[in-house]
Structure 1
């Protein structure tokens, strides 16, 4: 999903989570309704059975036919509840007409828990109870058809199956619209950022006054653009100054050399020309060093590449260049580097640059006729360079 836009990914996650939540809700609602139906039917059976118990206790002294009539009247008042009553000898005192139609089996042992039977494709909830009145015992069985309840349960399940996809699609479409609306400022920020280049670094992003992450992002980007603009202006200014400063000594050196080459000059005039060229070269060298420092500062800290290197060999290379500079100032340049390798673990390039800076500064700040010593060796297991 990484290749899809954020809005699409958010919508997909929203769709998946909502689908799981609605599915769990539907299953919970379905089984809760099913349990509620059984509880309602069981309460109806229990209430009907309690009414039969009171009726039998009140009319137990009647003849069986009279008791049957009382039970018939009570059963008719009970509505859809089916009833059959027999004594312990198996003689029917009363039996609803529908009992034969549903082929409900004859009375069995009493049970305190209702059970569900499917007879002739008709689901029934059946409760069998034994009622004891004096020395007489009666088996009473009540049943409630569940087809109406199951029909309501099926309609409820159909409603869930139809409504959940509609709700899911509607909510997903709404979520996608909301995500696109919420992320619309991101597209605007992206487009504005693309339009900013070197030619218009002063341009800024429009900050949405929403007080959320997008506003903080825009403010942060604008702060970054301000720092980049300031840095770029400094670079342009330094480049312009450097170009001007380089142009001046180069122009002076070219002019002096051209004048010297137009006609023969005396040794003193040539010496004066060389001295002026040397002075301008020192200015140029100093400017180049400043440019290098600026480049290093802009680049940041260098990552050192550490390898085993011969310190003596590195210093010897640098000293060969330092000798040429020392000869111009008539400085006594001496080096003491052992013939065997002086192994160190270091970045050879950085180490070479370090010793060149040290030797160059030593020659630069040593007066004419002075002395510069470069020493490399071992001391207490450590490499020494001074």
Structure 2
């Protein structure tokens, strides 16, 4: 059987709690009413007994037998029965008792009668009255409570379902939107914001923020896939053309070796490109977050690329200040190494590259800058995208993935990659991490 929806579960839970509350309130009310009614009845019995006792204290004038018979008949016609007994429990006056002699002082329930007995110097005075009026009143109240519960519960179910339906409407919108996105693959739609600042309002805002990030991610992935296909197509076309040309006719061993050498060179470029694509795909993956120091990251990156700088005649200057951070040391070292490798690759021989770290008001940072030709302002924004190179740098080697990898690593850390013109003349690339750990 299909399980009940959340609306009905909330509504029925609310109705069950209300039913229990009404039951407890009804039982408590009936108990209080019963106590009040019997207290009033007991008070009337005590008052009647006290009146008779005061009369017995006066001089006794015994009525005649005929008068006593008339008085007993009148007494029996009243709802409140009064009987006077002697010390041995024999009826003396105003009898007979409807319940017989009860030799116990105080209020007693005998059958349907409420009985009050009081000792006197000469015997006992007993007052008794049928509690039919009390029982009738209690029965009516039970009936009213029972009949009144059902309309209240029906109203509670209707109101509870309406409230639950209104409260869960944003959840339905989120669910429907997720289903549409799953079918279409388009994340451009947004959930209507729930009013106020409660949990559902925060949910709709969070879902919209997530969808905005998802849309940007999907757009970036489409661009990345298109650019990857374009970059891979060129070396594959060269390999296919070289192989086809070599197989068109018989060739000399030297010509075969030349063709194979060309295929090998292109294959090595293709292997390097594939490796960089894999590195980029992994760069924004799961991070091993721990407490690190960006000064150590800068030192590691400088040591890793000192040989490359020396081979080109580029001078490295290291200026690390302590910069405690919370991040993945391996991913940040990869990002810093890419910045340093880019700087060494694109500056002319004899240039200088600086790598430093520190802390400022914005957070902790690691900076790589150079005194090379730099990058035009209009190119800075697109350099963070895969396969993008600066103007006039298409023949300088590389696939244009380094800064895209750095940007992905910083985004995963909750930080940013800053690119601008260095006061030293070239490009300044800055890894910026927040002061607090990124969730």
Distance 1:255 1:214 in 2: 60
Moved over 6 A (4+): none
Q: How big is the shift at 1:182?
A: 1.9
Q: How big is the shift at 1:44?
A: 1.6
Q: How big is the shift at 1:39?
A: 1.4
Distance 2:220 2:108 in 1: 91
Q: Is the counterpart of residue 151 in structure 1 residue 136 in structure 2? A: yes
Moved more, 260-269 or 143-152: 260-269
Report the equivalent of 2:215: 229
Contact kept, 8 Å, 1:189 with 1:206, in 2: the verdict is no
Choose from 92, 99, 105 the match for 1:104: 99
Report the equivalent of 2:62: 64
Report the equivalent of 2:204: 218
Contact kept, 8 Å, 1:7 with 1:176, in 2: the verdict is yes
Q: How big is the shift at 1:235?
A: 2.2
Contact kept, 8 Å, 1:193 with 1:205, in 2: the verdict is no
Report the equivalent of 2:51: 51
Report the equivalent of 1:131: 120
Q: Is the counterpart of residue 192 in structure 1 residue 170 in structure 2? A: no
Contact kept, 8 Å, 2:107 with 2:116, in 1: the verdict is yes
Choose from 271, 281, 284 the match for 1:285: 271
- Give the unaligned 5+ runs of structure 1: 303-386
- Give the unaligned 5+ runs of structure 2: 289-439
Spell out, residue by residue over 1:144-177, the C-alpha distance to the aligned partner (whole angstroms, 9 max, x if none).
2211121111111111121122222222222122
Q: How big is the shift at 1:141?
A: 0.8
Contact kept, 8 Å, 1:65 with 1:93, in 2: the verdict is no
Q: How big is the shift at 1:6?
A: 0.4
Report the equivalent of 1:179: 164
Report the equivalent of 1:323: none
Report the equivalent of 2:242: 256
The two structures have a TM-score, normalised by structure 2, of 0.56
Choose from 203, 211, 221 the match for 2:189: 203
Distance 1:114 1:235 in 2: 90
Q: How big is the shift at 1:275?
A: 2.8
Contact kept, 8 Å, 2:85 with 2:123, in 1: the verdict is yes
Distance 2:130 2:244 in 1: 123
Contact kept, 8 Å, 2:174 with 2:207, in 1: the verdict is no
Q: Is the counterpart of residue 115 in structure 1 residue 114 in structure 2? A: no
How does 1:263-282 map onto structure 2 within 5 Å? Answer: 269-282=255-268
Distance 1:234 1:112 in 2: 96
Q: Is the counterpart of residue 86 in structure 1 residue 85 in structure 2? A: yes
How does 1:365-384 map onto structure 2 within 5 Å? Answer: none
Contact kept, 8 Å, 2:114 with 2:131, in 1: the verdict is yes
Distance 1:290 1:11 in 2: 56
Contact kept, 8 Å, 1:115 with 1:126, in 2: the verdict is yes
How does 1:236-385 map onto structure 2 within 5 Å? Answer: 236-262=222-248, 269-296=255-282, 300=286
Q: How big is the shift at 1:299?
A: 6.7
The two structures have a TM-score, normalised by structure 1, of 0.63
- Quick one: structure 1 residues 169 and 262, their matched pair in 2 at CA, closer, same or farther if it must change by over 3 Å? closer
Report the equivalent of 1:95: 94
Report the equivalent of 2:153: 168
Contact kept, 8 Å, 2:116 with 2:126, in 1: the verdict is yes
Contact kept, 8 Å, 1:242 with 1:287, in 2: the verdict is no
Partner SS state of residue 65, structure 1: coil
Q: How big is the shift at 1:126?
A: 0.9
Q: How big is the shift at 1:80?
A: 3.8
Spell out, residue by residue over 1:60-88, the C-alpha distance to the aligned partner (whole angstroms, 9 max, x if none).
x232339x99xx79x98xx7422112344
Distance 2:187 2:143 in 1: 62
Partner SS state of residue 200, structure 1: coil
Contact kept, 8 Å, 2:88 with 2:123, in 1: the verdict is no
- Quick one: structure 1 residues 260 and 153, their matched pair in 2 at CA, closer, same or farther if it must change by over 3 Å? closer
Q: How big is the shift at 1:199?
A: 4.8
Distance 1:199 1:84 in 2: 95
Q: How big is the shift at 1:125?
A: 0.8
Q: How big is the shift at 1:113?
A: 2.2
- Quick one: structure 1 residues 260 and 108, their matched pair in 2 at CA, closer, same or farther if it must change by over 3 Å? closer
Pick the structure with more helix per residue. Answer: 1
RMSD of equivalent CA atoms: 3.3
Distance 1:210 1:244 in 2: 48
